[in-house]
Amino acid sequence: MRESASGKVFIVGAGPGDPELITIKAMRRIEQADVILYDRLINKELLGYASSYAELVYCGKAPGSHAMSQQLINEALVHYASQGKTVVRLKGGDPLVFGRGAEEALALAAQGISYEIVPGITSAIGAAAAAGISVTHRDYAASFACVTGSRCHGDKMAIRWDLLAHSVDTLAIYMGVSELPAIREELLKHGKASSTPVALIERGTTPSQRTIIGTLADIHTLALSMKLSNPALIIIGEVVSVREQLLQAEQHAAALIS
């Protein structure tokens, strides 16, 4: 094990699921780590790139059940770095998009421990691309927003569904599976058209990816009947209809070739 006077923590994005969607920088940090503290949503294949001496610590958080509290994770990062170790904090997607990476960075900064953020492809971008959805489009969407669908006890920021319903063209909603009926109701209440196309992308960028397409009128019943489960993203906006055009064009081209 390589030890120096002061360790360093790399807060690293593992990408959305497909292990090949990690950055070269993130991969190098994994290879060099003495300790890797990893989350539930990272692709476990990535841990295979750690050195044989690396200690692997699971800190996953499934909805409703936490293997390690955020406080404990922060303390563990400080603990390992204080021993002079090279620490990787490996998170799904991007560490700063609903990843609590900033809280960890703050805890490290408060103890004078150096850290670096290595960004990753966030799941909205990865899953949308894998499902054939372009989150912006010159004809359909000049803006998109990443929104959390889950509000935990103690969260300080309210979600402004009233503004989001009108001021953003494409909504990418994380952690929204169990809240889908409520989200849908909020958007409809604030005047979003019930014909607005919606895509639900489950386990995006992985071999078991599933995409469910509907509209704000029926998406909650579709999710129920298709037994949508975590992790999944909700994409709302006209860009979802472009996906259908894309699929039709692909089928047409395939028919011409065969």
What's 48's DSSP letter?
G
Residue among 8, 27, 61, 68 flagged as catalytic: 61
Among 203, 211, 219, 240, binds ligand SAH (CB under 6 A): 203
Is there a catalytic annotation at residue 61?
A: yes
85 binds ligand SAH per the rule CB under 6 A:
no
For the question of residue 227 being annotated catalytic, the response is: no
Point out the catalytic residue in the list 39, 91, 169, 192: 39
Beta strands 114-118; 35-38: pairing state:
unpaired
Which range, of 20-28, 52-60, 163-171, 227-235, touches ligand SAH by CB under 6 A? 227-235
Type of residue at 154: G
Q: What are phi and psi of 246, to 5 degrees?
A: -65, -45
Distances (CA, A) of 30 to 24, 39, 83, 113, 132: 10, 14, 18, 19, 30
Helix (H), strand (E) at residue 209: none
Measured distance CA(70)–CA(103) in Å, rounded: 9
Q: How many angstroms separate the CA atoms of 21 and 24, rounded?
A: 9
Binding segment (CB under 6 A) for ligand SAH, from list 47-55, 68-76, 200-208, 220-228: 200-208
SS3 39: coil
Instruction: Work out how close the CB of 220 gets to ligand SAH at its nearest, in angstroms, rounded to a whole number.
Output: 16
- Select from 29-37, 80-88, 120-128, 155-163 the region that touches ligand SAH (CB under 6 A): 120-128
192 counts as catalytic: no
* Contact between 201 and ligand SAH per CB under 6 A: yes
* Residue 23 sits in the site that holds ligand SAH (CB under 6 A): no
Active-site positions?
39, 61, 175
